[in-house]
């Protein structure tokens, strides 16, 4: 997640190539279906674009039937 770029895309964070790694990570989790998933707390994931990236990650995990919490 690109939290330090002052030119970052706040309107559509997942359209930024630097943030696409979150989408790929969730796609890998969905494909492999591991028993546990651990995500590192990175700078701004809960602050950037109103917390969009954090909500996106939580939503994807819950939609894959994982229990998720912050």
Tell me the backbone φ, ψ of residue 11, rounded to 5 degrees.
-80, -40
The predicted pLDDT at position 4 comes to: 47
Spatial distance between the Cα atoms of 40 and 59, rounded to a whole number of angstroms: 17
Give 5 or 59, the one with higher predicted confidence.
Answer: 59
- For 46, half-sphere exposure in the C-beta direction (CA atoms, 13 angstrom radius) is 7
The 10s digit of each residue's pLDDT in 5-57 is 555 666 776 677 767 888 899 999 999 999 999 988 777 778 777 888 889 99
């Amino acid at each position: 997640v690109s939290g330090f770029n002052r030119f970052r895309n706040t309107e559509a964070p997942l359209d930024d190539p630097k943030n696409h790694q979150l989408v790929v990570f969730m796609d890998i989790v969905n494909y492999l279906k591991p028993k546990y998933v651990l995500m590192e707390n990175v700078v701004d994931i809960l602050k950037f674009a109103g917390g969009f990236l954090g909500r996106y990650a939580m939503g994807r995990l819950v939609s894959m039937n994982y229990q998720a919490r912050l």
